[in-house]
Amino acid sequence: MSPDPQKTPAEPASTTIATKHFGQIVVREDQIITFSPGLLGFSELHRYILIEHGQESPFLWLQCVDQPDLAFVVIDPLFVLPNYQIGPLNGVQKELDLKNPHDLKILVILTIPPGHPQDMTANLMGPLLINLANRRGKQLVLESSPYSHKHPVIKR
Amino acid sequence: MLILTRKIGEGIILGDDIRIAVLEIRGKQIRIGIEAPPNVVVLREEIYQRIQEENLQAAGVRDVDLKEIANLFKTKKANEPGSTENSG
């Protein structure tokens, strides 16, 4: 008896999505991060995946599952500012159903001006918080913080 | 725009689960209280616009620019060993 190649119930469900930067890629359901509400300005789009940029690169792509040409470059904020702290989480812990603080992944979005990548800035004011345990995410806005939404990444 | 007049302590209801109340008036400043479910974004308008605009700009990233900057970091890393090790 050979297994039917059409039926592989042990595999997690996967879907093929179109992307601008990576072409067609296969995404497992358990890789999808759901931002609710969506990122500011993209409130209708909730589902994203993280893709490593390269082995030696500190950058990650945050690729939208439902819109091929929407992708952000994100980075660990500690790479930009070693003492970066988002402060008390208040209600966010509940919103993300965060049970273990170690499950919290913090990333910040980079703005890379076309043709002038050395002028890139990090949005330290609007970090992305992701609960790795359930892959729920949220863009937090640190209203009363010293951090800029345009923090220069490369000092000159 | 809908315009309503309210006194201190009076509120306005938006939909089923958002309530806005006027708490205090001090000269030219008004303190407003907002009750909304956690999935509703509540921000000062100028802050909202700043982050939204930044997200929109960030979404326009080109692969070629990222490659260039990643190469720069590779060389930087080589010059400053261990400087980028951080636990998240």
Residues 6+ apart with CB under 8 A from B70: A53, A54, A56, A57, A58, A59
A79 within 8 A of B77, measured Cβ to Cβ: no
Tell me how far apart the alpha carbons of residues B5 and A13 are, in angstroms, rounded to a whole number. Answer: 54
CB-based contact, B73 to chain A, within 8 Å: yes
What superfamily in CATH does domain A14-152 come from? BH3618-like (2.30.290.10)
**Contact criterion met (CB < 8 Å) for B62 and A56:** no
Out of A43, A76, A114, closest to residue B86 by CB: A76
Write the residue in B44, B52, B70 that is nearest to A40 by C-beta. B52
Residue A10 has pLDDT above 90, yes or no: no
pLDDT tens-digit map of A99-148: 999 999 999 999 999 999 999 999 999 999 999 999 999 999 998 889 99
Q: What is the pTM of this model?
A: 0.85
Q: What gap in Å lies between CA A64 and CA A18, rounded to an integer?
A: 10
Calpha distance B70→A52 (Å, rounded): 12
Chain B residues 52-71 with CB within 8 Å of chain A: 52-63, 65-66, 68-70
Is A8 a residue whose pLDDT tops 70? no
pLDDT at B18: 97
Residue ranges per structural domain of chain A: 14-152
Chain B residue numbers with beta carbons less than 8 Å from the beta carbon of A109 are 54-55, 58
Confidence of residue B63 (pLDDT cuts 50, 70, 90): confident
